[in-house]
Amino acid sequence: MARYLIPAEETVAETQVSNSRFIATLAPVFSVDEAKTFIARIKEEYLDATHNVPAFVIGHGASVTAHSNDDGEPSGTAGRPALAVLQGSGLGDAAVVVTRYFGGTKLGTGGLVRAYGDAVRAVLEVTPRAEKAPTHLVMIALPYSYYERVKRLALAHQGVVRDEDFATEVTLSCEFATEDFPVFQQALKELSHGSLDAEIIKTNEATIIPINPHDNIY
């Protein structure tokens, strides 16, 4: 499975067009059932709204399940533009519901397309990202003299230190994206002149890894 970006948490943003309020709620979802549950919850939360327009993508890239619905808006003016913006964001495993409270002024088909697309853009701009990637959890037993250098090496190769045990020697448990691990393993051997080796103790095909918010680009 390739690594890809997903929403890190549920996020809400509101826009206004000609007195109509558009509230976009975006969340991570990992199956069609999860997406349906999320959509049903948002519809229940905004039960008095004029429309609750859903769109979601499950998976990423060539292996994706996508869906949208206009929820009573004119055909093609709401769900489709919301989904198009969501797909264009590069996120996978994401669902959005755009809630509309009608403000008394009709927007026309072009206005609706822009309004629903802009509502999704607004929530994407404030949504923190995480990464979904296959990972290895590895264990490294090492002398105290190597501790600081190996820890720095792991962090330099995008590793996450999960546990540290200090006994007669130090045991580090670190997590790496599977594609990053071979490079770290080689660097570890070079650092220790072949005396240290990281042992894979567990592989997770879908680990959620928070990323630096400054790396978020949309």
Which tens digit of pLDDT belongs to each residue from 47-97?
999 999 999 999 987 789 999 999 999 999 999 999 999 999 999 999 999
Q: What is the pTM of this model?
A: 0.76
pLDDT at 1: 60
Residues of the chain with pLDDT under 70: 1, 212-218
Q: What is the pLDDT of residue 60?
A: 85
- Contacts of residue 2, Cβ cutoff 8 Å, sequence gap at least 6: 60, 61
Question: Among residues 130, 90, 128, 115, which one has the least CA distance to residue 14?
Answer: 115
Interaxial angle between packed helices 108-126 and 79-88, expressed in degrees from 0 to 180 and rounded to the nearest 10: 40
| Protein fold of 4-127 | Ribosomal Protein S5; domain 2 (3.30.230)
Gap between the Cα atoms of 214 and 167, Å rounded: 38
Rounded to whole angstroms, what are the CA distances from 9 to 2, 84, 133, 191? 21, 21, 17, 38
Who contacts 150 (Cβ-Cβ below 8 Å, separation ≥6)? 140, 142, 172, 188, 191, 192, 196
- What are the domain boundaries of the chain? 4-127, 131-215
Tell me how far apart the 2 most distant CA atoms of the chain are, in Å: 74
CATH 3.40.50.720 assigned to 131-215:
no
> Which tokens in the block code for residue 174?
């670190």
Give the separation between CA 126 and CA 143, rounded to whole angstroms: 45
**Cα–Cα distance, 95 to 62 (Å, whole number):** 18
The helix (H) or strand (E) run that includes residue 101 is: strand 94-101
Tokens representing 52? 């609750």
| Predicted local distance difference test score (pLDDT) of residue 210 | 73
